[in-house]
């Protein structure tokens, strides 16, 4: 590792059909960051990989996961202690979906199943007034589309968090801790193709839960503003 490295903290794998095509969360994140594989090493913390010293990095992105934070897997505690060190040293941090929830949990927020169930598909995200001067989200449209797929959510933000964005389903789509750490519940690394695959693979359970799958698929669009978040984060890391 060196000070130009943006670590990808992997917390789980994507859907099997996508993995069979040779792609996973880290590949999409790396592409959206605009960085090479040498600049963005992956540490699979959920598999017991050792995290490097915080002081050796330019930043960290925490991936999504099919896991549930409330399952209490032991590796979460390892990640939480590491993240607290990262925050103390001012390392740029971006948590995506599960990573967003893990960051909130590390800072004293509350994560559990959303009382209104799953959020999935392309949804509008509305920024708060606090986002307009934010180093990461400032300059984005006040309302933009983003891809989502989650059953758990940050039900209570940490006391130190600044709320930056919400959707109709999830009041805490984006937040900031301090000046250099962010969580986004949406997936800025997803393309429309990836989002459609998530809906198609889960079509049976989605129908059981009352979703109109045809409408979900029809409403999937590309999300350039959400995708820009990762390129912006790379710039904040000096990349």
State the catalytic residues.
Answer: 97, 187, 189
Q: Each residue of 9-42: b (16+ CB within 10 Å) or e?
A: bbbbbbbeebeeeeebbbbbbbebbebeeebbeb
Q: Which residues pair with 121 in a beta bridge?
A: 148
Find out whether 87 and 36 touch, Cβ atoms under 8 Å. no
Find out whether 62 and 177 touch, Cβ atoms under 8 Å. no
Find out whether 1 and 41 touch, Cβ atoms under 8 Å. yes
């Amino acid at each position: 590792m060196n000070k130009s490295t943006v670590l990808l903290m992997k917390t789980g794998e994507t859907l099997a059909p996508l993995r069979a095509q040779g792609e996973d969360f880290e590949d999409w994140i790396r592409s959206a960051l605009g960085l090479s594989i040498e600049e963005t090493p992956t540490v699979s913390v959920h598999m017991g990989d050792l995290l490097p010293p915080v002081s050796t990095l330019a930043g960290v992105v925490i991936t999504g996961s099919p896991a549930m934070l409330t399952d209490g897997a032991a590796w979460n505690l390892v990640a939480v202690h590491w993240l607290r060190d990262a925050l103390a040293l001012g390392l740029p941090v971006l948590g995506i979906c599960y990573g967003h929830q893990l960051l909130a949990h590390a800072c004293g927020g509350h994560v559990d199943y959303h009382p209104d169930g799953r959020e999935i598909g392309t949804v509008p995200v509305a920024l708060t007034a606090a986002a307009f001067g934010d180093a990461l989200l400032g300059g984005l449209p006040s309302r933009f589309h983003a891809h989502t797929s989650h059953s758990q959510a940050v039900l209570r933000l940490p006391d130190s968090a600044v709320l930056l964005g919400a959707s109709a389903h999830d009041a805490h789509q984006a937040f900031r801790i301090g000046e250099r750490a962010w969580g986004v519940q949406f997936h800025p690394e997803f393309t429309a193709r990836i989002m459609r695959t998530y809906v198609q693979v889960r079509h049976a359970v989605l129908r059981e839960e009352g979703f109109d799958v045809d409408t979900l698929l029809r409403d999937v669009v590309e999300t350039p503003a959400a995708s820009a978040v990762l390129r912006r984060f790379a710039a904040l890391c000096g990349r």
